[in-house]
Structure 1
């Protein structure tokens, strides 16, 4: 199984996660999250697979998130509207986003990677 690893190379957390995948010899495909963000259909499928709420997929500490005032806009947004936001700009997606056959992890926590990708 190859993990789809959506990442931003300048992101320190993404680099740590990539290093972990390399050290544990996890087979992955690195995808630049800004140059090649997932399509709306792909992202919907990823979110559904994760079982997590849509809001968890937003990079809430990002500049773009603040500029767009999404904190307030998301309160009443539908899932479809949230997908539109998330797919409009790769910088709005929380990263790294790692997608396997049946698993999805957002961000990087060593324990979570241990349990999910080892």
Structure 2
């Protein structure tokens, strides 16, 4: 499976991550998160594979997250409700989101991406 990076073209962190991936010579698929937001099934698989708390998959600095006042609402939601919410709009999902055979990581941290990506 070719690694996939879900990203938003106007996101500066996404641009930085894609530039780094290109410079390192990784062969990845780029998926626009706004146009092809993750499904509930994908989110469940990725969350499980990541080993991270589900809250790490939310774009907490995003406008939509703030407008919806999710900081207060998420703690009261079930995981299923959170998956459903994340699947409604790619802008709610932390990006860039790296999905690879070895793991899944929301956000860009070079060390974690190096561990997950293979040349």
Deviation at 1:66, TM superposition (A): 0.8
Residue-by-residue CA offset, 1:40-68 (whole Å, 9 max, x unaligned): 10111011110111111000011100111
Shift, 1:76, TM fit: 1.2
Task: Summarize the alignment of residues 48-87 of structure 1 with structure 2, pairs less than 5 Å apart.
Answer: 48-87=48-87
How many residues were matched structurally? 118
Stretches of structure 2 that go unaligned for 5 or more consecutive residues are: none
Distance 1:91 1:38 in 2: 10
TM-score (norm 2): 0.94
Shift of 1:85: 1.0
Per the alignment, residue 45 of structure 2 pairs with 45
Q: Which residue of 2 aligns with 1:34?
A: 34
TM-score (norm 1): 0.94
Counterpart CA distance in 1 for 2:11 and 2:42 is 23
Q: For the residues of structure 1 that align with 2:114 and 2:53, how far apart are their CA atoms?
A: 23
CA RMSD of aligned residues (A): 1.1
